[in-house]
Structure 1
Amino acid sequence: MSGDRDEQSKRALTFREILEDPKLQGDSRMEAMGEAVLAHALTLLLQRGDKEKALRFLEVQSFAIEYDHEYEEYELWLEVLPEQQSAIPREWVKALHNTCAEVSKRLRYRDFNVGLREILPEVGPDWRARLLGELEPPKRPTNQGRKLRQGPPRWSTDYLFFTNEGEQKVYLALKRLQEALPKQETIAVFPLAGGRVLGRTWEPDFLVTYKGRAGVLEVDGPHHNARRALDTSREHLLHEAGVAFVDRVVAEAVHDPIELDSVLSRFLRRLEKS
Structure 2
Amino acid sequence: MSDYGTGHGGVDNNLRSYDEILQNPVLKDSERERLTAEALVAYISMLLVRRGDVETARLMLLVERWALEWDNEGQEKDLVLDVDPANRGHFTQDVIEKLRAICSEVSDRFKYGINWIEVRETLPALGPGWRDQFERELKGERPTNQARRLQTGPPRWVEDDLLFTNAGEQRVYRALKHRQEQVLPAEDTIAIFPLPNGRVSKRTWEPDFLVTYKGRAGVLEVDGPHHNARRALDRTRDHLLHDSGIAYVDRVPVEALESPKELNAVVDRFLRRLAESR
TM-score normalized by the length of structure 1? 0.49
* Structure showing greater Rg: 1
Please, what TM-score do these two structures have when normalized by structure 2? 0.48
